[in-house]
Chains A and B, each alone.
Chain A
């Protein structure tokens, strides 16, 4: 083999590791050597993918929503009909116009958390399993990215079992579709309507609003502009927020327990604020559900949205402070293709900046956990331990702290205690699996990314366990 061939082979191997580790969810032993054309492998994932096997049989939104009235009915037979103390307040408020006053729930009843918590634990394990088993890691990463962009958090108790169905129904089907379709699916989804309170927003001059003396809640409208589309500096005002909130009145959740309809979105005209709306200087005539849809379509196509989304994507995959020309290029692709996410994602793959050998990004806790399980080639997952570990590292799965989602910069994940938790995880993993030749494993999963200093420390480790901790805690494994 001459030098040129050797160079070509090693650069192909380097590209394979970057594709697997930076764009994907980590390298399984033996995987990189089989990846002949890394770019083609990535681009092939920018088409519809089947639901991961690990998620087969998980509940749909309709299944979860139909459990709520059953739970409420069970509560009614308890003494005095008291609600359990942790039940989401909005559930006790259905059809009531004033806060419920009264004493705490007596005795010990099954609480909302006890009833619905196990469902969330199942979702967490399934999501980890899907990631660990995935042969299309880039696609999974894109699901995670968009799921975080349009985050719904189980911090809102009523959304606790909807977060999993939400990702499967509103995010996955559109991940390589059009941005506007994902936006509309998100805004119509019960999980989002509940999480950001639109389910309870009434047009003050609507029939229902007047009858029940209820009014606007601007939460969803504000975050739709600030976090989902334009970005906070996208040029909107408080008046625009209020106008979108008015347009969105009536967008709600179909709770009706007698209906088994799968689509649980309902537009309630009786709650909808009548009249023409003006958003960003443009007038939207009265038109029921189509009114807010028209606003959202315009927001999705806005240049500020293109810039905001392009910056976020580049920051996620390339660097905390992404190159301006990369952001500009992605933003242009977004605008030129009418918000085609497949084109946007391919633009990322085609950008030389995304293939820089230096690993600038610190893995998020879930990325770190999944990549370590993949490197160890584990097929049996440590189940609940994954949520415990992820939470200890600062990322309790499905419990993003705010509608802004998880932070995407190293400073958020490199607190001393959070780093220590990664080392502890590495240690726990190293002592629970059969010993193996870590020197070979390190070369296999990191390839040309394995630094000389890490290779040397692994060589000198006093035990296979210690060598494995050093691999999983090495800078090149903590980063991507």
Chain B
């Protein structure tokens, strides 16, 4: 694209986005949480927290991890105890700028090892699998209903960057979703007729009305995505895998939505393929590509958000960790304790929060897993409390029902 075209497109795009009505933020600017942006990146399959954030200073790290303690290049140091996987260079830069915080040896209340139950607990925020049918992020939106009227009829305040809305975002509050491809062009008049036809089918009616909003936004945002790529992706080479590329694309597009003045305040991204049962340290292997893709996605988010990055918290979480020891196939099996990340300009980073349990045999859970010493919900609750000012009554009565014993962590986020 020629430079002049690019400028014209950007101008058009910002005009169009400014006028776009779908993600209405009627709250006034005096309400700081209305401006606070949250991104939730779910890594499905179980990220090996000890591989991404190795406890290099633990006296038993090398012996307990075996060949998974051998990195091609040195892990990037955080503090005396922890380091980052060498492919997480952008995240390491954020740590040095105090914009990355790591929570290590955390766990969910569910401590069995099923992907699907663990993901259900991660998404619903319940204490047990399949206790609740909606997601905690959606309930976080409805908990602020009075101030914001984020009911099913209201403008969506959240967007899922996926063809289907992940469970963590399903529920009563209005949410939308976006994915790139187009199969055809449906006329507005046809959509009007369909809206009439769906009058007796609430599920279809809601989906259609949200789709129409997001469709208008997608039209405009596609143009401005070029701008994001120009700013953030100039020196980025295309990635090897479709999955990796799509996380980057979703991050860029999410940044465009979130950066808009009338944009949503929450975006959810998903990335699969973290279930590293075999050969997880292979330089060209899936886990390496996934880690690189995650690092790049964070860079693209930051670039695309521009100044809004300063008001943003990005939460990276997975359903469980993996066994401390290498399994029989140079990988790791499902394990309980895990790591989670907070990144963003609003994060009080440059720290690893962990009540480290140690890696010696008796210190492991069931003799195999990193022992969780803190509840991951404490991190989620802390972010909602400080970043969005969700009340403690709502956090305990609505968002994470019955989690009174799990005190929110404080001091995670800069005051707005």
Chain A interface (Cβ < 8 Å from any Cβ of B): 83, 85-87, 89-90, 92-93, 98-105, 155, 197, 200-202, 204, 209, 214-219, 222, 226-227, 232, 238, 241, 362, 388-389, 391-394, 401-404, 407, 410-421, 423-428, 431, 451, 453-454, 457, 460-462, 466, 469-470, 473-475, 478
Contact = CB atoms under 8 A, between A and B. Distances in A.
Interface in B68-91: 72
A389 B283 contact: no
15 contacts: A89-B284, A99-B330, A204-B328, A215-B327, A215-B329, A219-B333, A222-B334, A393-B163, A401-B272, A416-B165, A416-B177, A417-B176, A421-B183, A426-B186, A473-B197
B328 A89 contact: no
B62 interface: no
Given A424-B186, A457-B196, A89 B181 contact: no
Interface string B176-219: 11110111111101110110111111011011111101110000
Q: Which 9 A-B pairs have the closest CB atoms?
A: A215-B328, A428-B184, A416-B211, A394-B163, A416-B210, A424-B183, A424-B184, A427-B184, A420-B211
B44 interface: yes
B402 interface: no
B44 A401 contact: yes
Contact of B181 (A93, A392, A412): A392
Contacts of A392: 163, 179, 181-183
Given A392-B182, A402-B44, A416-B207, 19 more contacts: A93-B330, A200-B329, A201-B328, A216-B328, A217-B278, A217-B327, A217-B329, A227-B116, A402-B115, A413-B164, A414-B207, A415-B163, A417-B179, A420-B214, A421-B183, A425-B183, A427-B184, A453-B196, A470-B190
A236 to B, nearest CB: 10
Contact of A419 (B116, B200, B204): B204
Contacts of B331: 197, 217
A160 B113 CA distance: 27
Interface of B: 44-45, 67, 72, 112-117, 129, 160, 162-165, 170, 176-179, 181-187, 189-191, 193-194, 196-201, 203-204, 206-211, 213-215, 240-241, 272-273, 277-279, 281-286, 327-331, 333-334, 366
Contacts of B210: 416
Contacts of B183: 388-389, 392, 421, 424-425, 427-428
B185 A388 contact: no
Contacts of A421: 163, 181, 183
Nearest to A403: B115
Nearest to A241: B113
A101 B241 contact: no
Contacts of A201: 328-329
Contacts of A98: 67, 330
Nearest to A155: B273
Contact of B329 (A102, A197, A402, A473): A197
A474 B170 CA distance: 24
A226 B333 CA distance: 15
Contact of B333 (A217, A362, A451): A217
A232 B110 CA distance: 13
Contacts of B201: 475
Contacts of A466: 187, 189-190, 193
B72 A86 contact: no
Contact of A214 (B191, B193, B215, B328): B328
Nearest to A209: B328
Contacts of B334: 218, 222
